[in-house]
């Protein structure tokens, strides 16, 4: 296994981290509570035995079972070999005391001593405002002082301006966890956010390196591009190597559901290095990115000028989910995210058709006219216009 310095700490982290959001399950659902514990424990220990020393979980993963199973996997001397990151469910914290209640529950679930990295989960501008209003940073600092946690960090899902505001708003961040891959260079924190966090001395851990598996199983026309290149790698290997080519990436998390995926990712990590991809390889990734983008139906750049919507609709993300279903031939994931991560008022179905957003859209998109169709596909299970239902 290869290692990189983890921010300002001086600690060396394995470049491949074990994400515990997609452990093997008995019902075949990737995030259900029905974890096959023996198999999951075997996988985690296999990874640790081969050098993985950073493991990530969260309060909500596998309906609360992920932390329990991870704690069991780290018995018999394995806890001393790794650092654990888990997350505070910020959206469930209604008063300051809730922060400590959840943290103490997580310590009890894990049964693994102090939590090395405790992250505020899924921050966006609203949740960041809530954290400051409730005084949760002071609560986290107190937990560091009393030894329940080692370091404070956050995971992130919002636009770059919010990312920079969060980093600039607190000097005690040790790390951040961002969604990043070769399709998300300008989405969310993006490449600019990666560089900014690293410049502030923070360790940057990457989630969704394969975009929920979409980059590992591309449509056939994109698969053919990879196969035509002189360097032969699987689509998953290309995506991971592209990330490890960037020295500001400390750890790439992978949510592995079977031992085969784990073994392959370890092999790929061991053949990686920063600044190792050549010009032709970067041109290949750019070509693949362009081909994916050509599959999108709505020319939304997610600039955000259309916001705020008077009804509260998150216009860019609705368009993004709609386009993702086309780009990656995976409408089921888009529909899942539409209901799992959006409130009813944020969904396309809440659009009133007022048209205020259209006056501000630099792309001239007829947003109000498109929103009913977006909701029909994502919210009502109807097919794309001219296509079949997924």
pLDDT at position 332? 87
CB distance 159 to 304 below 8 Å: yes
Confidence of residue 387 (pLDDT cuts 50, 70, 90): low
Assign 3-state DSSP to the chain and report helix, strand, coil percentages, each to 5.
45, 15, 40
Q: What is the distance between the alpha carbons of residues 84 and 149, in angstroms, rounded to a whole number?
A: 10
The contacts found for 378-385 with CB under 8 angstroms, 24 or more apart, are: 378/318, 378/321, 378/322, 378/325, 378/334, 378/335, 378/338, 378/347, 378/348, 379/335, 379/338, 379/339, 379/347, 379/348, 379/349, 381/335, 384/297, 384/325, 384/326, 384/331
pLDDT at position 337? 87
Mean pLDDT of the chain: 94
Token readout for 60 is: 């909500």
DSSP E strand boundaries for 74-134 = 83-88, 115-123
| Region of residue 231 (left: phi > 0; alpha: psi -120 to 50; beta: else) | beta
pLDDT at position 15? 98
Contacts for 290 with CB less than 8 Å, ≥ 6 apart: none
Q: Which tens digits make up the pLDDT trace of 155-169?
A: 998 889 999 999 999
pLDDT at position 388? 47
- 323 closest CA partner among 349, 298, 291, 348: 298
Q: Which tens digits make up the pLDDT trace of 25-69?
A: 998 777 789 999 999 999 999 999 999 999 999 999 999 999 999
Q: What is the distance between the alpha carbons of residues 260 and 263, in angstroms, rounded to a whole number?
A: 5
| Cα three-residue angle 189-92-122, rounded to 5 degrees | 10
Residue 328 sits at φ, ψ, to 5 deg, of: -110, 10
The model scores a pTM over 0.85:
yes
Confidence of residue 72 (pLDDT cuts 50, 70, 90): very high
DSSP string, 177-211: EEE-STT-SSSTTHHHHHHHHHHTT-EEEEE-TTT
pLDDT at position 386? 65
Lowest-confidence region among 143-147, 298-302, 343-347: 298-302
Q: How far is CA 80 from the centre of its chain?
A: 26
The number of helix segments (H) and strand segments (E) in the chain equals 15, 10
Mean pLDDT, rounded, for 121-144: 96
Mean pLDDT, rounded, for 320-332: 90
Confidence of residue 385 (pLDDT cuts 50, 70, 90): confident
CB distance 237 to 268 below 8 Å: yes
Mean pLDDT, rounded, for 73-94: 97
pLDDT at position 31? 77
Q: What is the distance between the alpha carbons of residues 56 and 255, in angstroms, rounded to a whole number?
A: 9
Identify the residue with better confidence: 211 or 113: 113
Q: Which tens digits make up the pLDDT trace of 187-204?
A: 899 999 999 999 999 999
pLDDT at position 214? 87
pLDDT at position 390? 40
Residue 389 pLDDT more than 70?
Answer: no
Domains of the chain in sequence order: 3-277 (3.20.20.100), 295-390 (no CATH)
pLDDT at position 363? 86
Token readout for 283 is: 């041109």
Q: What is the distance between the alpha carbons of residues 56 and 179, in angstroms, rounded to a whole number?
A: 14
Residue 297 pLDDT more than 50?
Answer: yes
Q: Which tens digits make up the pLDDT trace of 242-268?
A: 999 999 999 999 999 999 999 999 999
Token readout for 20 is: 């515990």
Mean pLDDT, rounded, for 215-219: 92
């Amino acid at each position: 296994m290869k290692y990189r310095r983890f921010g300002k700490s001086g600690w060396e982290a394995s470049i491949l981290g074990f994400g515990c959001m997609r452990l093997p399950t008995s019902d075949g659902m990737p995030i259900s509570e029905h974890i096959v514990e023996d198999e999951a424990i075997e996988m985690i220990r296999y990874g640790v035995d081969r050098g993985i020393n950073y493991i990530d979980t969260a309060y909500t993963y596998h309906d609360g079972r992920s932390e329990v199973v991870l704690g069991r996997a780290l018995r018999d001397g394995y806890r001393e070999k790794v650092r654990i990151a888990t997350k505070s469910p910020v959206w469930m914290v209604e008063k300051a005391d809730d922060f400590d209640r959840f943290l103490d529950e997580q310590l009890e679930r894990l049964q693994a001593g102090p939590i090395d990295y405790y992250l505020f989960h899924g921050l966006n501008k609203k949740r960041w405002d809530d954290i400051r209003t409730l005084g949760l940073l002071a609560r986290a600092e107190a937990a560091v002082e009393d030894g329940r946690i080692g370091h404070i960090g956050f995971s992130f899902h919002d636009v770059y301006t919010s990312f920079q505001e969060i980093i600039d708003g607190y000097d005690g961040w040790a790390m951040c966890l961002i969604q990043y891959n070769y399709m998300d260079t300008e989405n969310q924190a993006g490449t600019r956010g990666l560089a900014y966090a690293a410049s502030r001395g923070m360790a940057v851990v990457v989630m969704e390196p394969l975009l929920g598996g979409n980059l590992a199983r591309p449509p056939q026309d994109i698969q053919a591009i990879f196969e035509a290149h002189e360097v032969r790698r699987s689509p998953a290997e290309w995506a991971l190597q592209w990330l490890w080519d960037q020295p500001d990436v400390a750890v790439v998390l992978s949510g592995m559901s079977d031992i085969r995926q784990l073994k392959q990712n370890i092999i790929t990590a061991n053949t990686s290095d920063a600044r190792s991809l050549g010009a032709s390889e970067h041109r290949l990734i750019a070509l693949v990115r362009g081909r994916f983008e050509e599959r999108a139906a709505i020319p939304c750049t997610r600039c955000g000028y259309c916001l705020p919507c008077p009804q509260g609709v998150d216009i860019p993300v609705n368009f993004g989910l709609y386009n993702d279903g086309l780009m990656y031939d995976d409408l089921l994931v888009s529909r899942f995210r539409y209901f799992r991560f959006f409130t009813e008022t944020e969904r396309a179905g809440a659009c009133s058709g007022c048209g205020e957003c259209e006056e501000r859209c630099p792309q001239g998109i007829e947003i109000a006219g498109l929103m009913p169709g977006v909701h029909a596909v994502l919210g009502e299970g109807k097919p794309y216009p001219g296509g079949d239902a997924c």
